[in-house]
Amino acid sequence: MIEFSHVYKTYPGPVHALKNVDLRIDQGEFVFLTGPSGAGKTTLFKMISAYDTATSGDVKVAGYDLLSIRNSQIPFFRRKIGVVFQDFKLLKDKTIFENVALPLQIRGDKNPAIHRRVHEVLEQVGLGHKHDQYPEFISGGEQQRTAIARAIIHQPGVLIADEPTGNLDPRLSEEIMDLLERVCAQGTTVFVATHDHEMVKRRNKRTLTLRDGIITGDTK
């Protein structure tokens, strides 16, 4: 589902953010990515989402070869993945319903189908009763659940989450991780970057460690 071979990413400076990264994550796996600040985690996620391109090497995600992908194909590729951020990135002037519906509206789905699917996903994340609220008036945990709903609304094969619990207290963090595990159990590949070593230990999942742009660990 995600395959990197000999991937390098160099920013101007030069900063060698990724150095000869090889990794393979299969369909339906749940994997953590850990490593100190500046290790290259966000860079690796940007390579996966085609938000930026590798300097060299091969990146294959959800059946697309991101080295040779045409710009015109990128919107189709993006439908295969979902992205969740630490700071939620919800639109303040739109309701929970409208935030979650957005990817389907952009894709051109018809309204009745959008309504059905948004309500289904809001139930799944436990927010069915909040659909008319605005993001500022719900808790941080609820905002992150809204962001996850938006990220999975189009049933992506891969969900990447960059520090999804970084702004949440321990109890809400556990709720969010439970939700991500349920998303994975339904067949989505889930890849989560986190600093929270205690949580990683408790969850007992495959864990990749990045240090200074190099994968230094791949353990369960």
- Closest approach, Cβ 45 to ligand ADP, in A, equals 5
* Shorter beta-carbon distance to ligand ADP: residue 74 or 115: 74
Only one residue has tokens 């999942």, namely 205
> Among residues 1, 7, 59, 83, which is the contact residue for ligand ADP, using CB under 6 A?
83
- Closest approach, Cβ 13 to ligand ADP, in A, equals 6
* CA–CA separation, 69 and 145 (whole Å): 31
- Residues in 84-103 at the binding interface with ligand ADP, rule: CB under 6 A: 85
* Shorter beta-carbon distance to ligand ADP: residue 66 or 127: 66
Inter-residue contact 127 to 145 (CB < 8 Å): yes
The Cα-based distances of 28 to 59, 159, 181 in angstroms read 18, 10, 10
Q: Name the DSSP class of 138.
A: S
The two structure tokens encoding residue 121: 């996903």
Total residues in contact with ligand ADP, by rule CB under 6 A: 18
* Shorter beta-carbon distance to ligand ADP: residue 99 or 127: 99
- Closest approach, Cβ 111 to ligand ADP, in A, equals 27
* CA–CA separation, 104 and 102 (whole Å): 5
* CA–CA separation, 26 and 165 (whole Å): 24
The Cα-based distances of 153 to 57, 83, 89, 132 in angstroms read 31, 11, 16, 17
- Closest approach, Cβ 5 to ligand ADP, in A, equals 19
Stretch that binds ligand ADP, among 7-15, 129-137, 145-153, 177-185 (CB under 6 A): 7-15
- Residues in 16-55 at the binding interface with ligand ADP, rule: CB under 6 A: 17, 35, 37-43, 45-46, 49, 51
* Cα 159 → chain centroid: 4
* Shorter beta-carbon distance to ligand ADP: residue 49 or 165: 49
Stretch that binds ligand ADP, among 13-21, 24-32, 138-146, 201-209 (CB under 6 A): 13-21
- Closest approach, Cβ 109 to ligand ADP, in A, equals 22
Question: How much of the chain is in helix, strand and coil states, percent to nearest 5?
Answer: 40, 30, 35
Query: Which residues of the chain form contacts with ligand ADP (CB under 6 A)?
Result: 11, 13, 15, 17, 35, 37-43, 45-46, 49, 51, 83, 85
